[in-house]
Amino acid sequence: MVEDTPCISMHTHKMISPIMNILTNHLKRDIYKSINPILFDVSLRDGIQKADPSKYTTPVKKQIFHHIFEKYAPKKIEIGSMVSPKVLPIMADTISLHEYAMNFIDEKESLLVPYVLIPNNTHLQNALCNGMYNFSFITSVSNAFQLKNTRNTIIQTKVELKLMETSLNCYRRTHNRKLYISCINECPLTGKIDNDFIVNEILYYHNNYDFSELCLSDTMGTLTYEDFEYIVDMVVYFGVPTSKLSLHLHVSPANTHEIKQILYYCFNKQINKFDVSVLMEGGCSVTMGENSPSNLSYDLFYEILNKYIENKIK
């Protein structure tokens, strides 16, 4: 019998997806369709990257993949990260897991889109040779964070991102390209970051690269509604379409009210791409260690969405 994980139950046939609590009548369904949330599952990458590799063997990861597919049916899923096994041994099976997921998706004729995270051009070439074509990349608005997390400065990261973009443009196949922009708007090493600096950095990636998605990542789980509203209003004013923005939130007991306000703002502004996870682990293992807050869960996301829809109906 395959080892189970302590984080979630795998008996998916006994469970009801939390989305069913929302789609109970035509009014709710209509509002839901107008919001059109697109969920990006990060369980098998950010959700486990600081966990014990012995608890997340390849068979267990496959079970988690099936659990996500059957119960939650996200539009996109991050399968793993193409990093050195010496840095993150838990990601050593990313190639085989991606191949398994692709075969399963093809067999089911599913529209689920699998992604892998790519740190540099060397790993990108390996990914391309192994039939991968939907990629996540990572940068930060904190130079100290980027140095500790990737051993590159922000300037070096920008050069590497341009090199990877050039590599991708040499292939005829269309590639989805998601960029995580970490430390919106606080760094675990240097503290609060100026909002205008963050705005300028987001605009730089929008104007100088061909990313299909810019994901604002609240690394610390301390992002406030007021700061988020200012940052998004400014980047939209200067030309970034809301359809290009997505959100990666981390949750702690102290920030659930801020998360509710932030998500309400997104629903109102047609920002509809959100990262979620079925696992309670998560966060940057290199920089924050065991103190990082959890990823936004499906349950909390749908709970807040349901309240928003009910308020709209009232």
10: pLDDT confidence band, cut at 50, 70 and 90?
Answer: very low
The number of beta carbons lying within 10 Å of the beta carbon of residue 184 is: 30
Tens digit of each residue's pLDDT (9 = 90 or more) over 142-184: 999 999 999 999 999 999 999 999 999 988 777 899 999 999 9
Per-chain mean pLDDT for the chain? 91
Distance spanning both ends of the chain, measured CA to CA: 50
The interaxial angle of helices 225-237 and 195-208, nearest 10 deg, is 40
Q: How many CA atoms lie within 13 A of 14 on its CB side?
A: 3
Q: Residue 77 corresponds to which tokens in the numbers above?
A: 């899923």
Of the pLDDT bands very low, low, confident and very high (cuts 50, 70, 90), residue 24 is confident
Comparison of pLDDT for 170 and 225, the residue scoring more: 225
Picking from 2-11, 114-123, 274-283, which range would have the lowest pLDDT averaged per residue?
A: 2-11
Token pair, residue 246, equals: 């997505």
The secondary element (H helix, E strand) that includes residue 314 is none
Question: How confident is residue 102, by pLDDT bands cut at 50, 70 and 90?
Answer: very high
Strand partners, 217: 248
Q: Is the pLDDT of residue 91 over 80?
A: yes
pTM for this predicted structure: 0.92
pLDDT band at 5 (very low <50, low <70, confident <90, very high): very low
Structural domains in the chain? 36-313 (3.20.20.70)
Give the tens place of pLDDT for each residue, 240-270: 999 999 999 999 888 999 999 999 999 999 9
CA distances from 120 to 33, 156, 158, 243, 251 (A): 37, 11, 11, 26, 29
Q: If pLDDT is split at 50, 70 and 90, which confidence band does 15 have? A: low
Q: Nearest CA to 44 among 276, 287, 220?
A: 276
Angstrom CA distances, 133 to 102, 169, 171, stand at 11, 12, 10
Residues 6+ apart with CB under 8 A from 270: 242, 243
For residue 187, what are the CA distances in angstroms to 103, 220, 255, 293?
A: 39, 7, 16, 13
Q: What DSSP state is assigned to residue 19?
A: G
Phi, psi of 134 (to 5 degrees): -125, 120
Mean pLDDT of 275-289: 71
